[in-house]
Homo-oligomer: A and B are copies of this chain.
């Protein structure tokens, strides 16, 4: 982990409201592992101050790394206005990243929308490690198929679902998973996307006895394990998404209730669940 002032050398609006930045950092590009993130001081704007976490989307080994982000609020809005050769204050790489044992042979990578961000880096790593993998990508509609081509180029067979049926399977990526999982039979599932989707994927994985790792998003302050603000509820007690995660084995996660399906943004899937031991002591 280090704090850098890094040059932006590439910026692309890959689809309306979604941007890709290429950021120079030999150190981060060298040390980063898939699933890790960087904590970015977005250029000062209107009434926000905390850093914003973004997954490392891809690396240009030894030289630069990329982030892929969607404008959803003030921080990302400010970030979308940076220009090439602007400098960003970044802390990273952070978090533990995806884990893979040496002898794994086949993996399923499931991304919902922006969930593609950490998974493309993982896909490139798996190619390197000669692990067979199947990208399974869920989108709203055909015109928003973020990184489809890239995954298709890297994966063995690429599955896609669109909610409106304009491309691939009509429906959610969860439906698609449930229809196809008995054919694919991966040894491991890696997933990233809305928490409701992740929870359902973990249920399927459970049912089929497949190991499953997901990248969880929580609100973060420090991003490095100090403030204890990004807690997720696990069977081992509270774990910090920024330091113990953001990637967790779904067998450890205690998911929250229904309303996570509605995409509550600020949680890690756990805020309706009593913590392992409650606070009654004090």
Contacts and interface: CB of A to CB of B under 8 A. Distances in A.
A44 B78 CA distance: 11
A45 interface: yes
Interface in A46-101: 46-47
Nearest to A49: B47
- In the assembly, how many copies of this chain are there? 2
A192 B253 CA distance: 68
A109 to B, nearest CB: 40
A75 to B, nearest CB: 14
Interface string A22-54: 000000000000000000000011110000000
Nearest to A47: B47
A46 B47 CA distance: 7
A45 B43 CA distance: 10
A82 to B, nearest CB: 14
Interface string A112-135: 000000000000000000000000
Contacts of A46: 44-45
Contacts of A47: 44, 47
Contacts of A45: 44-46
Nearest to A44: B46
Nearest to A46: B44
A76 to B, nearest CB: 16
A236 B63 CA distance: 70
Interface of A: 44-47
6 contacts: A44-B45, A44-B46, A44-B47, A45-B45, A45-B46, A47-B47
In the A-B complex, the 6 residue pairs with the closest CB atoms: A44-B46, A44-B45, A47-B47, A45-B45, A45-B46, A44-B47
